[in-house]
């Protein structure tokens, strides 16, 4: 079944994400795209028809067409603790130590609800591929990642699900309580099980598994090294938080006598297999070392502003060769899971550092092509022949867009927050602003009740 998504109002291919391409310098998709068998089979130039026959046509003349957005860092379970009063005004370490006891009460059903709400919110914001970093495994939640796999498949999305871990509890000088700390043998065995059960390889993969010790202040160096060795043997990616706050930097200096990138190298993580959540506090030499290694960074602007963590040096990281993508981060530090707004926030935050000439299309590129590279995917994030048919279509018929002249720029500058249509692998997953097959009001009602129960204890 082939579909021509015809004559969009505007189109962003992400082929050259830094500027508005000059005429004739980038593939012309102003006439739309043709998709068949889950992939893009043709970019249609303005004013012409597809080269061959198509089975159906979707009139996109009221829509802006972009690649599906790709989220590189999240904690789905945190949708249960959004805007919680005791941490509304806290920085990272106090925020964590206050929330850990709440998260330690997470149940399988609450985790399932939290995951579905996070995925639905992402999907509605134009996101088609969503990474998650789950590292809280209280008693009774051994199958946390299995629950997430089922939810991803139910909603028809793609995901990189990371088997997180914490081994350094308060008894040994870490931040998390002992109730959510696991032993290394359990973690490594479960990591290997999950890769064998769910990890898909190659173009079009729907579910991928990565290994993700939580942070330097919640896992031991031995856990970091053992996980890196296992990831190498299983040929999967690595993920962790790094260089998020000055507190973390001081923790590493006091405990290990080194800075963040030195620590990363000492445990075998300075590699193109790894991507780092946040990556804010790097000096010039560390930026160059990360670029030389090809280690990627997930930029999380809203969370970084919410917790007053700092501003990542995104342009310098990219210029040094670091793949940079965007992440909404956990819904207790954002406190939303809205991917298109994350691109807007990234644009404005980086303009504070580098000036107003940071292009709108570069920020959209971080949310699409850059994020795909960050997750090690070369089949996503761009509109090009042979790439996966993961698309988002946006209407500009609300008051906020009235008078807008550049449809692509309007998505960020005018604050688009909800896609009208989303396609994943050639199938519509959002139609007329609603997730196909999902009773969203019922889900939200049960999720809301679970959130109240969780914080009450």
Contact (Cβ atoms closer than 8 angstroms) between residue 240 and residue 276: yes
Q: Which helix (H) or strand (E) holds 451?
A: helix 440-456
Residue 232 domain-assigned? yes
Residue 55 domain-assigned? no
CATH of the domain at 178: 3.20.20.140
On the question of pLDDT at 19 being above 80, the answer is no
* Residue 253, phi then psi, degrees to nearest 5: -65, -45
pTM for this entry: 0.96
Residue 9 domain-assigned? no
Contact (Cβ atoms closer than 8 angstroms) between residue 149 and residue 161: yes
Instruction: Among 14-18, 148-152, 261-265, 389-393, name the one with the lowest average pLDDT.
Output: 14-18
Q: Which domain does 250 fall in, by range?
A: 69-341+367-374
Residue 381 domain-assigned? no
Residue 393 domain-assigned? no
Residue 421 domain-assigned? no
Average pLDDT for the chain: 95
Quote the number of domains for the chain. Answer: 1
Mean pLDDT to the nearest integer, 252-264: 94
Q: pLDDT tens across 295-340, in order?
A: 999 999 999 999 999 999 999 999 999 999 999 999 999 999 999 9
Residue 218 domain-assigned? yes
Q: How far apart are CA 342 and CA 72, in angstroms?
A: 11
Residue 196 domain-assigned? yes
Contact (Cβ atoms closer than 8 angstroms) between residue 182 and residue 165: yes
On the question of pLDDT at 350 being above 90, the answer is yes
Contact (Cβ atoms closer than 8 angstroms) between residue 148 and residue 119: no
Q: pLDDT tens across 153-182, in order?
A: 999 999 999 999 999 888 888 888 888 899
């Amino acid at each position: 079944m082939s579909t021509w998504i015809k004559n969009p109002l505007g189109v962003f291919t992400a082929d050259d994400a830094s500027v508005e391409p000059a005429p004739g310098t980038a593939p012309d998709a102003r006439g739309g795209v043709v998709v068949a068998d889950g992939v893009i089979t043709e970019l249609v130039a303005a004013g012409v028809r597809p080269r061959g026959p198509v089975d159906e046509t979707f009139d996109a003349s009221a829509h802006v067409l972009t690649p599906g957005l790709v989220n590189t860092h999240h904690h789905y379970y945190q949708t249960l603790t959004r805007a919680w009063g005791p941490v509304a005004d806290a920085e990272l370490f106090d925020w964590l130590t206050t929330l850990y006891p709440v998260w330690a009460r997470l149940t399988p059903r609450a985790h399932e609800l939290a995951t579905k709400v996070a995925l639905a919110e992402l999907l509605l914001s134009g996101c088609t591929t969503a990474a998650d970093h789950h590292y809280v495994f209280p008693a009774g939640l051994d199958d946390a990642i299995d629950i997430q796999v089922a939810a991803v498949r139910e909603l028809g999305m793609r995901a990189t699900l990371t088997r997180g871990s914490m081994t350094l509890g308060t008894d040994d000088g870490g931040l998390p309580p002992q109730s959510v700390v696991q032993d290394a043998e359990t973690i490594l065995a479960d990591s290997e099980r999950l890769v064998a059960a769910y990890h898909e390889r190659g173009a079009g993969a729907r579910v991928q598994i990565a290994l993700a010790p939580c942070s330097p202040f919640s896992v031991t160096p031995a856990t970091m090294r053992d996980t890196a060795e296992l990831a190498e043997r299983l040929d999967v990616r690595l993920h962790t938080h790094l260089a998020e706050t000055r507190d973390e930097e001081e923790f590493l200096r006091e405990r290990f006598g080194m800075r963040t990138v030195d620590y990363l190298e000492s445990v075998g993580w300075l590699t193109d297999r790894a991507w780092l959540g946040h990556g804010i506090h790097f000096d010039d030499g560390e930026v160059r070392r990360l670029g030389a290694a090809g280690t990627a960074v997930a930029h999380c602007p809203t969370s970084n502003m919410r917790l007053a963590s700092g501003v990542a040096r995104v342009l310098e990281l990219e210029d040094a060769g670091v793949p940079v993508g965007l992440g909404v981060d956990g819904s207790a530090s954002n406190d939303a899971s809205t991917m298109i707004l994350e691109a807007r926030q990234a644009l404005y935050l980086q303009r504070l550092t580098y000036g107003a000439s940071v292009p709108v299309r570069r920020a959209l590129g971080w949310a699409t092509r850059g994020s795909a590279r960050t997750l090690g995917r070369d089949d996503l994030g761009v509109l090009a022949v042979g790439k996966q048919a993961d698309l988002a279509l946006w209407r500009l018929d609300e008051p906020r867009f009235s008078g807008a002249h550049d449809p692509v720029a309007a998505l960020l500058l005018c604050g688009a927050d909800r896609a009208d249509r989303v396609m994943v692998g050639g199938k519509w997953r959002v139609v007329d602003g609603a997730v196909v097959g999902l009773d969203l009001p019922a889900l939200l009602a049960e999720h809301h009740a679970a959130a109240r129960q969780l914080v009450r204890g």
